[in-house]
Amino acid sequence: LRRRVQPVQRIRRTRHRAVKAEGHDRARQVVVDGLRHPHDRNPLLVQLEVPLTTVVAAVEIARRRGVLTILDPAPAPREPLLPDLWRADLISPNETEAAALTGLPVATSPHKVATALRQRGAREVVLKLGPRGAFVCSTYLIIAVVLPE
């Protein structure tokens, strides 16, 4: 089985890369590569499209270095999220992903879903609501972001 990592975008100034990856070892190297510069505080955005051990390692390294960590739990997980991933600074699921994470129906109110995610360990939540906007919930802020029609 051949493992490969294919960069899909490079952001010039930061040396961070968004990756589409197959295989554990090389994907981990590419994700972590953007975190080698401790003075660079750009956020780390991770998704569940690479092996979970890779995502956990990237989040752990980023948190140790003071980098803001954002978890976009896509694709929707079939099994419970690993406890280490709840430590991401911000979790940003869409409604389907949030339903998978909480066990609540997709039609549940955004406030109830965000509260359930925070009770599971999420520090801050940005619940993506498609054309209806987003719902932001943290310790100090609860706000609905409505898109103009």
Q: Which of 70, 76, 79, 122 has its CA nearest to residue 99?
A: 76
Higher-pLDDT residue of 140 and 46 is 46
- DSSP annotation of 87 reads G
Chain mean pLDDT for the chain:
76
Neighbouring-strand partners of residue 21 = 5
Can you tell me which residue has the tokens 């109830």? 112
pTM of the entire structure? 0.70
The arithmetic mean of pLDDT across residues 9-37, rounded, is 37
The arithmetic mean of pLDDT across residues 16-34, rounded, is 37
